[in-house]
Structure 1
C-alpha cells in the first residue's frame, strides 16, 4: 500500500481512508475497469454492427488478459461467487448483448462466435444468446 500511495501522490492516511485494505483497493480497480468496458460498448466505433462488436470484443479481451492478475488477487481474498465477480460479469454480458444482437440482425453471426472468456472458461456469446431466447 505504501508503494501505491507513493505512486498516486497521496498520503497513506488518504489511501486508507478510501480503501481500508488491499482487497477494497483491488475491488475498486477491478470495478473501474469493468465500468470502462461497459461504457466502451456504447462508444466503440465500427463501420458495421459486426465491426463494432469485434472492436468491443478486442477491448474486452485486452481487459481480460491484462487484468487477470487483479482477478487472481481478488480470488485469493474472496469467493468466486462474491458480487465483485458475479455482478460485474452480469454487467459485461448486459453491455455486450445489444452489440451481438445488432450484428446478428445484419447477418454477421460469426462475429458472436469470438465472444468467449477463455480465462473463466465461460462462453459469453452462448450465455447472451440463451438469455435472449429466454427459458425453454
Structure 2
C-alpha cells in the first residue's frame, strides 16, 4: 500500500475526482500549533477507486463560534474575529469551510480493515506535518 500525504492539500487536491464521493467522518476536533494557529478540523475518508482511498480535511474558523450579530453590531469582536468575517456577513463567515484532499492511499488491499487503514493514514499524515487533533470534539453538521 502506498500512502501519499500533502498537509497543505495543494498537490493532492488537484486529484479530487469529478464525481461526488461517499465521505465518512473518521475524526474531528480542535488542532493547535500555537496561540495564532489553531482551529477545528474534520477528517473524512472515501473510497475513490477499487484500490484507492482519499482523506479529506474540512476546516472552519473556530474564532466565530458563539459570536452573534449583536456582538458584531456592538463592536465586541477581537482582531481575529474581525479578520475572519472581513468582506462577509457573520452567517457567511460561520458557514465557510475549507476542504482539501490531504492523503491518497493507492494499492489498498481489499481485505484491509477500515480502522487499520485510517490508523496508517493518520500515522503518515502526522509524519508529513499534517494537522493533528489535539482535542477531540463533536463534529459539526456539514454536507
Superposed pair shares fold, TM > 0.5: no
Task: Please state which band the TM-score falls in when normalised by the shorter chain.
Answer: under 0.3
Higher strand share: 2
- TM-score when scaled to structure 2? 0.23
Q: Which has the higher contact order (CA 8 A, sep 6+)?
A: 2
- TM-score when scaled to structure 1? 0.23
Higher helix share: 1
